[in-house]
Structure 1
Amino acid sequence: MTDTISYEITAMSGELEFRSYPALVLATVDMTKDEAGFRLLFAYIMGYNRTGDTLPMTPPVITSRQVAMTRPAVSDVRSMSFVMPPGMNRDGIPDPLDSRIRVTTQSGREVAVIRFSGYARPHEVAAAELQLREGLRKARIEPVEEPFLMRYHPPWTPGFMRQNEVGVEIKRLNRRMIAGTAFGVSDHQGSSDCLRRLRKEQSAHCRK
């Protein structure tokens, strides 16, 4: 498993973290059970593709719910995505042999995220989603789409060691319109000192 995808931390508000993600190439499958989707995608990166190439697994695994045409109803079908290795574009990614898998490029976007640990059971995910929505409401930030789950460890990892996040795409941040938010810019790797200052001071810029 390779390093996680890179992003910039652009602001914080309470337990919420705001990030700017680059464009990502995703291998995605629709499924009703996590196990089935994971098996299909895992086989794909292990060489069950048109070139027979193996691809490193890049956390997180992203799970999204599909919203029905009559919003806000949500269907039982979800999508699961594996992130393709950083630095590779769509042309460099092998086509899947299984027609249920689609490989697409997701444009860069801004995301609000909240962390939690454990097995990411439905009630745990729902609680984190509720906390995320409430934090956005207090910060007066509008989500763009439905929240999604990001899991950073494989299914066999013990619950106490798992890191999970619920995220949602948001409109581009406007500093003057957000209440109680600390702003700064840093890469998520090696930025703990910067984040501590952000949480403590809740005001100053913080750059590497």
Structure 2
Amino acid sequence: MHNLRKYLAVAVISLVSAGEALAIEEPAFHLIAQFNDIEIRQYPPLIVAETIVVGDMATASNAGFRLIANYIFGNNKSVDGVADQPSQTIAMTAPVTVERVNLTEQWRVQFVMPRAYTMSRLPHPVNEAVLLREVPAKRYAVLVFDWFAGEEKAEEKARDLFAWIASKNLHAIAPFQLARYNPPWTLPFFRRNEILIEIE
């Protein structure tokens, strides 16, 4: 009975977390086509906060998340450079993405900034390891999956998506990105993950 209560408590927390995740802003996109668990999406220009971290995917994801979270939760300075102006808190968005940089042990971790902001309105990061960057409009093939999304699983799903892209005579033009939408305490069957590969 104790174990059942414990399981139900965890399930309720995960359901609440899933509901909260639905309320978090996500990047808008135009769905061009859908093939079961694979989608073709067109994304508009976006602004991202990003950092590059060395290590394996798990280590880099955690370290990168902390650096960018620190920026959006107030470790920033005003746009006009006024020293005594208070820092800003920027709303959390989903997903958090990670991608390997040039086949090295470096990983680029990104948060998309809320749509209400422009580059001129975003506060500047205090930590120079965090950069703000405008990303142009892009088209992606996207594979959606649940459960845990570690490095091995991400690479497996990416191989599947690269193969699918080739089978449709499409052309991949960038490495894969792993996008995670949920907090770490979410039960695996409630998790939403995506592999994104930019295509022509």
TM-score, scaled relative to structure 2:
0.79
How many Å apart are 1:64 and its aligned residue? 1.0
Matched, 1:15 2:42: no
User: Which 4+ residue blocks in structure 1 deviate beyond 3 angstroms?
Assistant: none
User: What is the percent sequence identity of the aligned residues?
Assistant: 28
Larger CA deviation: 18-27 vs 156-165: 156-165
Deviations 1:78-132 (A, max 9, x none): 0100110013211111110000000000001111100111220122111210110
Secondary structure of the corresponding residue to residue 168 of structure 1: strand
Alignment partner for residue 198 of structure 2, among 169, 193, 200? 169
Counterparts of 2:42 and 2:29 in 1: how far apart (Å)? 6
Q: Quick check: 1:13–1:139 contact (8 Å CA) kept in 2?
A: no
Letter aligned with residue 29 of structure 2? Y
Unaligned runs of 5+ in 2: 1-22, 79-86
> Per the alignment, in what secondary structure is the counterpart of residue 140 of structure 1?
coil
Equivalent position of 1:122 in the other structure: 151
TM-score, length-scaled by structure 1: 0.76
- Displacement of 1:14 in angstroms is 4.8
Which residue does 1:40 correspond to in 2? 67
Q: Does 1:136 align with 2:165?
A: yes
> Deviation at 1:146?
0.7
Contact 1:62 1:149 in 2 (8 A): yes
Partner-residue secondary structure (3-state), 2:95: strand
- Show the counterpart of 1:66: 101
Which residue pairs with 1:57 in the alignment? 92
Counterparts of 1:80-159 in structure 2 under 5 Å? 80-159=109-188
Look up the SS of the partner of 2:66 in the other structure: helix
Write the distance in 2 (CA, Å) between the matches of 1:119 and 1:38.
17
Structure (1 or 2) with the greater helix fraction: 2
Alignment partners' CA distance in 1, 2:138 and 2:195: 15
> Structure 2 CA distance, aligned partners of 1:159 and 1:15?
17
The count of aligned residue pairs is: 165
Distance in 2 (CA, whole Å) between partners of 1:155 and 1:107 is 30
Q: For the residues of structure 2 that align with 1:106 and 1:78, how far apart are their CA atoms?
A: 17
Matches of 2:117 and 2:143 in 1, distance apart?
Answer: 28
* Superposition deviation, residue 154 in structure 1: 2.2
1:27–1:104 CA contact under 8 A, matched in 2: yes
What SS does the corresponding residue of 1:104 show, helix, strand or coil? strand
CA deviation digits over 1:131-162, x for unaligned, max 9?
Answer: 10111011110001111111111223232221
- How far the C-alpha of 1:16 sits from its partner, in A, is 1.9
- The CA deviation string for residues 5-61 of structure 1, in whole angstroms up to 9 with x for no partner, is 110101124532000001110000111322111111111110110131001111111
8 A Cα contact 1:14 1:135, kept in partner: no
